Amino acid sequence: MRRITAKLGALSALVVACNKPDASSGNAAPPAAANAPATEGATSAAASAPAGKAGAAEASPAARGPFNVMLLSIDSLRQDMPWAGYPKQIAPNLTKLAEQSVVYTHAYAVSSYTAKSVAAFLTSRYPSTLYRSGYFFTDYPTSNLFLAEVLHDHGVHTIGVQGHLYFGRGKHLDQGFDVWELVPGITFDSTTDKNVTSDKMTDIAIRALGDPAAAGKPFFIWAHYTDPHDEYNKHPESPDFGKGNRGRYDSEVFFTDLHVGRLLDFARKQPWWDKTVVIVTADHGEAFGEHGMYKHAFRLWEVLTRVPLVVHVPGVTPHRIDQNRSHIDLAPTVLSFMGVKEQPPAFVGRSMAPEIYDGSKADAREPVVLDLPEDVNNPETRAIVDGTTKLIVYGKSRYELYDLGADPGELHDLSRSDPQKLARAKTEFDKTWAQIPFVPSYGGMKLHDGSMANGPTGPGSK
């Protein structure tokens, strides 16, 4: 606790009112109760409830936790999954889970590639505000405060399972994890991912969750499945979805879904299942020719930043939430589910737990902020989504404006044809970003615009 208290003091100068913490985000019971036997009546009613409901009856007090949390993020998972209208049944296990869960239809990653987006949802901070190196495969020094550190100091057993060597090269994303395991034998390629790991990741996760040394403690597990990331492989376990990039990608999603399903089948048989929240999302999307682009990073298009977000909570009736939401709120939401009453002031997001319990409480949280800070490969790109209006700003002065309601594919830039709408969006953009403190990257490398990364590694450093 002493280390986190010191971090909070050091970070206080950076804390701003980007999003005010939700006063109702805490639960009354301490997290130590999360693995106690489920209270009678707290088991999930999801299987008997209709999916796709716009609102839901408020969950009973017995269903309010505290809970364990399983956070399952899937690399490059597009928003257009089967439960969102994609016609191919590429994810049967996750589709079944979505039918029994709260589904966010307009969820956004904070950025458009792993190294920036994952750090954002683990810290509830925008990448531009974090101490970070200027590398594409970004380092995050221990001066940043991560979700697992907070949970660890509240008596939670923290588990991380990873399938890419980025997470094993001293990037400090493992801060606060009691268990941090990578799939053995994987290799690193800076341009793609040639490893197949979902099966092995699930094996590791099942073993870690069954460890008797952690029995009786509340747990948080974050498993980041990476197989849908390029390169795209066809799997014999999968139906033939086609030979092109999208068809092979769909096969990767099916393979990942198969092994996520195996993890969920294991979890459903455990005595702690009825006291466990499952969150499924992605670190970013993936492009297959939209805007002439393939893969991800470098831009903040919808196809790169819109992601699935499915939250399964015991006792909560399935419903859909159509409000725009950001991953900046994930860490506060996990704290709420785990019974941590007060989120650190360094976290700028707000818990989504109240609206997950009761869909009628979903409020507007505009604008959603998208942040791709400059590094050696990425140019600085920032954006806001305010309702259906999206403004993208490249560098300091190039603008693109879209009406996502009429033009969800972002095909018609309105920045010249509608100067009044542009002026309003720029005013909102400037107001929003004025509240987000910028921290320059460090490391001494040359950045995309030719400048040097000479920022601090922490408070008071140079």
Structure confidence by residue, pLDDT tens digits, 179-188: 999 999 988 7
Please report the pLDDT score of residue 103 as a whole number. Answer: 98
Both 145 and 185 in one domain: the answer is yes
Both 345 and 376 in one domain: the answer is no
The domain containing residue 124 runs over which residues?
2-361
In a domain, 197, yes or no: yes
E-strand spans in 328-450?
A: 368-372, 381-386, 389-394, 398-403
Both 49 and 186 in one domain: the answer is yes
Both 46 and 112 in one domain: the answer is yes
CB 410 within 8 Å of CB 424? no
Tally of domains in the chain = 2
Both 293 and 385 in one domain: the answer is no
Question: Is residue 243 predicted with pLDDT exceeding 80?
Answer: yes
In a domain, 403, yes or no: yes
Both 343 and 408 in one domain: the answer is no
Both 272 and 398 in one domain: the answer is no
Both 351 and 399 in one domain: the answer is no
CA–CA separation, 248 and 242 (whole Å): 7
CB 76 within 8 Å of CB 286? yes
What's the predicted TM-score (pTM) here?
0.89
The per-residue pLDDT of the chain, averaged, comes to 87
Task: Average the pLDDT over each of 8-22, 52-66, 403-417 and give the range with the smallest value.
Answer: 8-22
In a domain, 114, yes or no: yes
Name the β-bridge partners of 276: 68
Please report the pLDDT score of residue 45 as a whole number. Answer: 31
Residue matched to tokens 């953009």: 429
In a domain, 451, yes or no: no
In a domain, 462, yes or no: no
CB 44 within 8 Å of CB 274? yes
The model's confidence at residue 170, banded by pLDDT at 50, 70 and 90, is confident
More confident residue, 264 or 10: 264
Both 261 and 387 in one domain: the answer is no
CA–CA separation, 97 and 273 (whole Å): 14
Please report the pLDDT score of residue 226 as a whole number. Answer: 94
In a domain, 317, yes or no: yes
Please report the pLDDT score of residue 3 as a whole number. Answer: 55
Both 60 and 45 in one domain: the answer is yes
Question: Is residue 453 predicted with pLDDT exceeding 80?
Answer: yes
Both 74 and 187 in one domain: the answer is yes
In a domain, 460, yes or no: no
Task: Average the pLDDT over each of 35-39, 335-339, 444-448 and give the range with the smallest value.
Answer: 35-39
Work out the angle at residue 279's Cα, subtended by the Cα atoms of residues 365 and 371, and round it to the nearest 5 degrees.
Answer: 45
Structural tokens at position 92: 């049967």
Name the β-bridge partners of 128: none
Nearest CA to 258 out of 93, 96, 97, 78 is that of: 93
Both 418 and 323 in one domain: the answer is no
Residue 154: DSSP 8-state: T
The pLDDT tens digits of the residues spanning 379-438 come to 999 999 999 999 999 998 899 999 999 999 999 999 999 999 999 999 999 999 999 999
Sign of the C-alpha dihedral, residues 287, 293, 295, 296? negative
Burial call 321-354: b when 16+ CB within 10 Å, e when fewer: bebbbbbbbbbbbbbbbbbbeebbebbbbbbbbb
In a domain, 453, yes or no: no
The model's confidence at residue 58, banded by pLDDT at 50, 70 and 90, is low
The CATH number covering residue 397 comes to 3.30.1120.10
